[in-house]
């Protein structure tokens, strides 16, 4: 079977097919517009339907990876209807995408897949497994009547909305510095391009998935020592964005306070589920399990030098 690409900016149709193929509702109608704003008009990025015999059998997105640790890294997402699956066609399509990325001066490609069979096909194609992630969830209804946990003396929590009122336009740069401090010892994360992350924050502020009151900062005096960013995964489910404690304050039980506070906040805001996504060796996964999160599936990040 031969696959070919039909580039498209028909976002509603792309979104509908994504949900149909994945069963997920974690993308909203502003997803693609936001992605294009983040990358900028001068940055290569392509969305396309995968076609076979004039039928839409999948979709693909590839181009600039805005969270990459190097400017020449690309991201690839691909979804194909199982009923139209053809291994030879898949590998031929990936080879053509890789060539297009090389022509646009990318030297590395990253992909994330939800299925073991996709993982194995990419491994066969020369990709290497970089990370394995565990997705889990927690039912929030039982937390509706729960009070917020009492923090140790000297610590308090402020939201992004609180900080924006205080810092005005400097808030986005301030948040970037907070995030960098929390992630400073995670390989690759310290080299985020500041301008790109700040623009991502500004886009998120305008997006429907971002909750200014749910982007929480754990503070000690005027120092931010922890971040728990709660965003909308779907209409009824919340999920964690950047979450962590700066190294000097870890192993003191503070993350448990911050995480529990965020879960109760999400319950009181009307979310039914809390979703979490953690690398298999991340201590946050252990904390989630202790808090009662239940594993629902795994996904895999793979990379390849082009």
| 80-105: pLDDT as tens digits | 999 999 999 999 999 999 999 999 88
The pLDDT confidence band at residue 4, using thresholds 50, 70 and 90, is: very high
pLDDT for 159 beyond 70: yes
Least confident piece of the model among 140-144, 186-190, 250-254, 257-261: 186-190
Least confident piece of the model among 4-13, 176-185, 229-238, 274-283: 176-185
The pLDDT confidence band at residue 64, using thresholds 50, 70 and 90, is: confident
| 192-216: pLDDT as tens digits | 555 555 555 555 555 556 677 888 8
Query: How many C-beta atoms lie closer than 10 Å to residue 82's C-beta?
Result: 10
Mean pLDDT along residues 237-244: 84
Residue 51, helix vs strand vs coil: strand
CATH 3.40.630.30 location in the chain: 4-126, 137-298
| 115-143: pLDDT as tens digits | 899 999 999 999 999 999 999 999 999 89
Q: Cα(249)–Cα(163) distance, rounded to whole angstroms?
A: 21
Mean pLDDT along residues 245-267: 91
Q: Quote the pLDDT of residue 44.
A: 65
Query: How many C-beta atoms lie closer than 10 Å to residue 292's C-beta?
Result: 11
pLDDT for 66 beyond 60: no
Q: Cα(89)–Cα(92) distance, rounded to whole angstroms?
A: 5
Residues β-bridged to residue 243: 228
Percentage of the chain lying above the pLDDT 70 cut: 75
The pLDDT confidence band at residue 184, using thresholds 50, 70 and 90, is: low
CB 278 within 8 Å of CB 284: yes
Q: Quote the pLDDT of residue 188.
A: 44
Q: Cα(104)–Cα(102) distance, rounded to whole angstroms?
A: 5
User: Could you tell me the end-to-end alpha-carbon distance of the chain, in angstroms, rounded to an integer?
Assistant: 25
Q: Which two tokens stand for residue 115?
A: 């299925």
**Helix H or strand E encompassing 129:** strand 128-139
- Which of 33-37, 236-240, 253-257 tops mean pLDDT? 253-257
Does the domain at residues 137-298 carry the CATH identifier 3.40.309.10?
no
pTM of the model: 0.77
CA distance to 155, 219, 230, 252, per residue, from 151 (Å)? 6, 11, 19, 12
Which one is the CATH code of 4-126: 3.30.1130.10, 3.40.630.30, 3.30.300.170, 3.40.250.10? 3.40.630.30
Tokens 């953690």 map to which residue?
278
């Amino acid at each position: 079977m031969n696959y070919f690409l039909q580039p498209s900016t028909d976002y509603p149709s792309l979104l509908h097919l994504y949900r149909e193929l994945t069963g997920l509702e974690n993308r909203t109608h502003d997803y693609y517009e936001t992605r294009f704003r983040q990358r900028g008009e001068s940055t290569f990025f392509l969305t396309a339907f995968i076609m076979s015999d004039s039928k839409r059998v999948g979709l693909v997105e590839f181009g600039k990876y805005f969270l990459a640790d190097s400017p020449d890294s690309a991201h690839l997402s691909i979804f194909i209807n199982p009923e139209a699956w053809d291994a030879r066609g898949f590998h031929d399509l990936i080879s053509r995408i890789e060539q297009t990325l090389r022509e646009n001066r990318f030297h590395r490609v990253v992909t994330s897949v939800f299925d073991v069979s996709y993982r194995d096909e990419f491994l066969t194609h020369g990709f290497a497994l970089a990370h394995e992630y565990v997705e889990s969830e927690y039912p929030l209804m039982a937390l509706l009547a729960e009070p917020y946990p009492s923090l140790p003396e000297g610590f308090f929590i402020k939201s992004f909305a609180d900080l924006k009122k205080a810092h005005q336009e400097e808030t986005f740069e301030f948040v970037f510095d907070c995030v960098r401090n929390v992630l400073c010892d995670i390989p690759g994360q310290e080299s985020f391009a500041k301008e790109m992350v700040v623009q991502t924050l500004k886009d998120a502020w305008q997006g429907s998935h971002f909750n200014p009151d749910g982007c929480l900062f754990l503070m000690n005096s005027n120092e931010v020592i922890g971040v728990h960013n709660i965003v909308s995964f779907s209409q009824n489910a919340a999920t964690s964005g950047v979450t962590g404690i700066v190294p000097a304050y870890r192993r003191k039980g503070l993350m448990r306070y911050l995480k529990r506070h965020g879960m109760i906040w999400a319950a009181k805001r009307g979310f039914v589920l809390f979703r979490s996504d953690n690398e298999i060796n991340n201590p946050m996964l252990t904390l989630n399990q202790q808090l009662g999160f239940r594993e629902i599936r795994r996904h895999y990040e793979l990379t390849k030098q082009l």
